[in-house]
Amino acid sequence: MAGTYELKVAKNGEFFFNLLAANGQGILKSEMYKSKSAAMNGIASVQTNCGDDSRYDCRTSGNDKFYFVLKAKNHQVIGQSQMYASQESCAKGIASVKSNGPSTVVKDLTAA
């Protein structure tokens, strides 16, 4: 089973998506988008960029947790991971996005 994108609407009316691993765990949350079509373009950007190691940036938060961002070719952040306790876990999260990101399965939850 492959990963799945869930397209949603935030309370403020903006759109975002989550990339879920095959087990249903969230592995990447997008930035906010003004339109549904822009969010769909964001999903396409993840699909295009997720296989390129140079698009990932592993960072450390203020509370010494690790997370990563996935950036497009223009260096704009497409999405961010959850927080991880170790760099090794962060690297496994990146591997999961690389594995699940090419998925074309999109669940449109914007009308729900």
CA-to-CA distance for 26 and 55, rounded, in angstroms?
19
The CATH number given to whatever domain includes residue 96 is 2.30.29.80
Q: How confident is the model at residue 2 (pLDDT cuts 50, 70, 90)?
A: confident
Q: How confident is the model at residue 4 (pLDDT cuts 50, 70, 90)?
A: very high
Strand partners, 15: 9, 33
Q: How many domains does the chain have?
A: 1
Q: What is the pTM of this model?
A: 0.93
How far is C-alpha 104 from the geometric centre of its chain's CA atoms?
14
Query: 75 burial class (0-12, 13-18, 19+ CB within 10 angstroms)?
Result: exposed
Whether the per-residue pLDDT at 101 is higher than 90: the answer is yes
CA-to-CA distance for 81 and 108, rounded, in angstroms?
21
For the record, the structure tokens of 62 come out as: 């203020």
Site of tokens 């991880």: 84
For the record, the structure tokens of 73 come out as: 């070719």
Q: Look up the domain containing 22 and give its range.
A: 4-108
